[in-house]
Amino acid sequence: MAECEKITVQERLKDAAKSLGIPRLIIFGFLALLFVAALFLKLDIASLFSNVLTRLGMNGILVLAMVPTMQVGMGPNFGLPLGITCGLVAATLAIELNLVGWTAFVFALGVAIPLGGLAGYAYGLLLNKLKGEEMTVGTYFGFSIVSLMSIFWAMAPYKSPEMIWPYGGSGLRVTISLAGRYDKILDKFMSFSIGGIVIPTGLLLFFALCCFLMWVFMRTRTGIAMTVVGNNARFAESIGLNVNKNRLLGSTISGALGAVGIIIYSQSYGFLQLYQAPLFMAFFAVGSILIGGASINHALIRHVVIGTFLFQALLVTSLPVANLLVSENLSEVIRIIISNGIILYALSRKEQGGEAK
């Protein structure tokens, strides 16, 4: 009897390891090694855990924006900077109108969602004409949008002294503080501390709500239709599904989530970052969801959560550990190597079919 129970436990462990995946087990192992090193180096572990939780919430929605386009067969949304710039436009409008607190935050979200959705729809029209080249086109399109918006930021007719260059300069500053507006409004909402670890309750709840809504939507008739289109477009057409329409819907939702995501990111960061700041944000979001277990045409909510946690935890712990082990100049190089190495691994994954559903 004991032997049977032992075999059952071993089988369960093997199944768990198989479902998680060897690459993610290796990453989890490396992360655990970093935390052990942090303990020996007498770093503030509670502070590290607090930072990981905060970065999970502040980056999670940007990673979640990958799900609709991946499920509908368009691949990771490398055009995410388009949605991000829409969110930044909404956030700057809230400051220009001199809104503060929850009013400013809700206004920014209220403008960002339709603006990002409309931009995502237009972007989807472009991708429908360039099927099979979505990732390449998205990368160049994202870079182009950031450059185009840099011109807009330099010429935007805003008047708020919090945003424009001082002493008569034209255009907006590169970095705009949200202090006194809605700085960390979600992070501080219902936050509490356990053993020195600060739990940003509002931030995590908002991320969880977005994940839940996406999970529910992907199980509706429309969400299932999007998945069918992503799995096999020809089969979808044969049963009467409009492939282009579903692709447009995926791009629209992704654009709206990108706009919302940058507002959540900015309120947690405490600043709006304009001009070239959104340039590579899509790469970090794509890398996160892929190391979480997603493939090019298959992404689930658990991939978002696991991938964002792994990616951000590695970034949070690697830098302070490297600071104590090597010189400060080299530690930044090591951080860049680790972050870009994660992205390179994620983008070079060979499995295209995804995990079993």
Query: DSSP assignment of 297-352, as one string?
Result: TB--HHHHHHHHHHHHHHHHHHHHHHHHHS-HHHHHHHHHHHHHHHHHHHHT----
- Going by pLDDT thresholds of 50, 70 and 90, the confidence category of residue 283 is confident
List of residues 6+ apart from 159 with CB closer than 8 A: 96
* pLDDT tops 70 at residue 350: no
Q: What angle do CA 149, 155, 159 make, to 5 degrees?
A: 115
* Residue 76 DSSP label: S
Share of the chain above pLDDT 70, in %: 83
Stated pTM of the model? 0.87
pLDDT value, residue 21 = 61
* pLDDT tops 80 at residue 341: no
Cα–Cα separations (whole angstroms), residue 188 to 102, 201, 233: 12, 7, 45
The tens digit of pLDDT for each residue in 90-102 reads 999 999 999 999 9
Q: What angle do CA 223, 228, 229 make, to 5 degrees?
A: 95
Helices (H), the chain: 2-20, 22-40, 45-64, 66-71, 80-96, 101-128, 134-155, 201-217, 221-231, 233-238, 243-269, 281-291, 301-325, 328-347
pLDDT value, residue 20 = 56
d(CA 27, CA 31): 6
The tens digit of pLDDT for each residue in 149-197 reads 999 999 888 888 889 888 766 789 999 999 989 999 999 999 898 988 8
Element (H, E) at 356: none
pLDDT value, residue 353 = 42
pLDDT value, residue 11 = 60
In this structure, what are the phi and psi dihedrals at residue 194, rounded to the nearest 5 degrees? -130, 115
Distance between start and end Cα atoms, the chain: 33
* Residue 63 in tokens: 């990673």
pLDDT value, residue 338 = 65
The tens digit of pLDDT for each residue in 235-244 reads 888 888 899 9
- Going by pLDDT thresholds of 50, 70 and 90, the confidence category of residue 357 is very low
* pLDDT tops 70 at residue 336: no
* pLDDT tops 70 at residue 330: no
**Which has the minimum average pLDDT: 38-42, 147-151, 204-208, 333-337?**
333-337
